[in-house]
Amino acid sequence: MSTARSADAVHVRAPGKINVYLGVGPRHDDGYHSLATVFQAVSLYEDVYAHPSDGFSLEIHGDVDVGDVPTDDRNLAMRAAKLLAQTAGVTTGVHLEIRKGVPVAGGMGGGSADAAAALVACDALWGTELGVHGLHELATRLGADVPFALHGGTALGAGRGDELTPALARGRFDWVLVTSADGLSTPEIYGRLDALRAHGEALADAPPLSLDVPVAVLQALRAGDATALAPVMFNDLERAAIDGRPDLELALADGVRFGALSGIVSGSGPTIAFLCAGPDVARTVQQELQATGRTALHVHGPVAGARLMG
Ligand code: C5P
């Protein structure tokens, strides 16, 4: 629990995400790859409390293992607070308290959610009133997934993943997540994909490398049809993430054997997301996966982006 929660703190909650579709194009000179992706925000959250302070500091608690998360300027939430202060000419500081619910280095955008939440929380704490467009611009500068954590829901991402277009998604999709104690580094996974491609290995089972989200993905989301979505989910990073991780390949097979419609590595992994036909099936799949000794969570999407809780 909080060691420093104050009555005048601002509380903001931001969600983790799954990439329902992730097509990765070529690497550019800035180190980023072109993407054609569809994000869905799911009901696993980061809670950020912004406490008034003269300086800048940060503490982290968690429902998940927070061992390696830095609390200095390497932390994206800290960078977000300082960027907002600098942009808006704020001369005071903030003490950020982060309660993590999204797996660390899990491919679900937990750090990006922290940054989005910190922007919204500090904007409210300091009364900087940057508005949606101002915060979006800062989010884009902080990282490719930060704008989506701000907006939430279901959205197409182009460019580095930060050029967002909201996508219609009817109803609710039930997901079971299998988390992993050993995280993966996002830049390393992108690098491994480049290496696999250079050796001509990664595209054997992939659709043609066109950077468009298939119409079938958007139609299934619009119809709220999990059965139609399951066979068209795709992640170009999956091969790179499961390379040398037989545990992930085994988990993917087990989830489907236990009744999930389909499983996919989330973003750069190693979290696996299983799409299920409904909440009852999802609970069964979760229980069966837990019975094998894995950590499995039942979540749903889409949910809202970063929002003020009080
Ligand atoms: O922007 P963010 O900090 O989330 O990105 C982490 C890393 O993931 C980048 O430094 C880059 O190596 C890789 N990345 C990429 N292409 C993207 C998004 C991320 O290569 N579109």
| CATH architecture of the domain formed by 173-301 | 2-Layer Sandwich (3.30)
Q: How far is CA 290 from CA 94, 180, 208, 251, 255, in A?
A: 40, 12, 36, 11, 11
**Per-residue confidence (pLDDT) for residue 211, from 0 to 100:** 85
**Cα 115 from Cα 138, distance rounded (Å):** 10
Q: What spacing in Å lies between the alpha carbon of 107 and ligand 1's midpoint?
A: 11
Q: What spacing in Å lies between the alpha carbon of 60 and ligand 1's midpoint?
A: 23
**Cα 177 from Cα 272, distance rounded (Å):** 6
Whether the CB of 208 sits within 6 Å of ligand 1? no
Of the candidate CATH numbers 2.40.100.10, 3.30.930.10, 3.30.230.10, 3.40.190.10, the domain formed by 10-167 belongs to 3.30.230.10
Question: Which helix or strand (DSSP H or E) is residue 17 part of?
Answer: strand 10-27
Whether the CB of 301 sits within 6 Å of ligand 1? no
- Provide the pLDDT confidence category of residue 175 given band limits of 50, 70 and 90: very high
Whether the CB of 187 sits within 6 Å of ligand 1? yes
Residue type, 304: A
Mutation test of ligand 1: which of 190, 211, 268 has the most ligand atoms closer than 8 Å to its C-beta?
190
Q: Is the pLDDT of residue 10 over 90?
A: yes
**Per-residue confidence (pLDDT) for residue 5, from 0 to 100:** 58
pLDDT digits (tens, 9 = 90+) for 266-298: 999 999 999 999 999 999 999 999 999 999 999
Q: Is 127 annotated as a binding-site member?
A: no
| Other Cβ atoms closer than 10 A to 198 | 9
**Per-residue confidence (pLDDT) for residue 207, from 0 to 100:** 47
Chain mean position to CA 19 = 8
With beta carbons less than 8 A apart as the criterion, state whether 103 and 271 touch. yes
Ligand 1 atom with the shortest distance to the CA of 144: 1
Question: What is the average pLDDT across 123-130?
Answer: 96
Q: Is the pLDDT of residue 252 over 90?
A: yes
pTM of the model: 0.94
Whether the CB of 159 sits within 6 Å of ligand 1? no
Whether the CB of 31 sits within 6 Å of ligand 1? yes
Percent of the chain with pLDDT over 70: 95
What are the domain boundaries of the chain? 10-167, 173-301
**Cα 291 from Cα 157, distance rounded (Å):** 36
**Per-residue confidence (pLDDT) for residue 209, from 0 to 100:** 56
**Cα 81 from Cα 79, distance rounded (Å):** 6
With beta carbons less than 8 A apart as the criterion, state whether 19 and 235 touch. yes
ipTM, two decimals? 0.96
Q: Is the pLDDT of residue 161 over 70?
A: yes
Strands 163-166 and 173-179, sheet pairing: unpaired
Q: What angle do CA 278, 279, 280 make, to 5 degrees?
A: 95
Query: Which protein residue has the closest C-alpha to ligand 1 atom 7?
Result: 187
pLDDT digits (tens, 9 = 90+) for 207-234: 445 689 999 999 999 999 999 999 999 9
pLDDT digits (tens, 9 = 90+) for 36-88: 999 999 999 999 999 999 999 999 998 777 777 899 999 999 999 999 999 99
Percent of the chain with pLDDT over 90: 85
Residue 164 pairs in a beta bridge with 157
Q: Is 109 annotated as a binding-site member?
A: yes
Mean pLDDT of the chain: 93
DSSP string across 246-284: HHHHHHHHHHHHTT-SEEEE-TTSS-EEEEESSHHHHHH
Q: What spacing in Å lies between the alpha carbon of 31 and ligand 1's midpoint?
A: 7
User: Catalytic site residues?
Assistant: 17, 145
pLDDT digits (tens, 9 = 90+) for 127-152: 999 988 999 999 999 999 999 999 99
Q: Is the pLDDT of residue 192 over 90?
A: yes
Can you read off the two tokens belonging to residue 103?
């797996």
Q: How far is CA 106 from CA 17, 129, 155, 172, 269, in A?
A: 10, 32, 20, 23, 5
**Per-residue confidence (pLDDT) for residue 157, from 0 to 100:** 97
**Per-residue confidence (pLDDT) for residue 206, from 0 to 100:** 54
Residue type, 108: M
Ligand 1 atom with the shortest distance to the CA of 190: 20
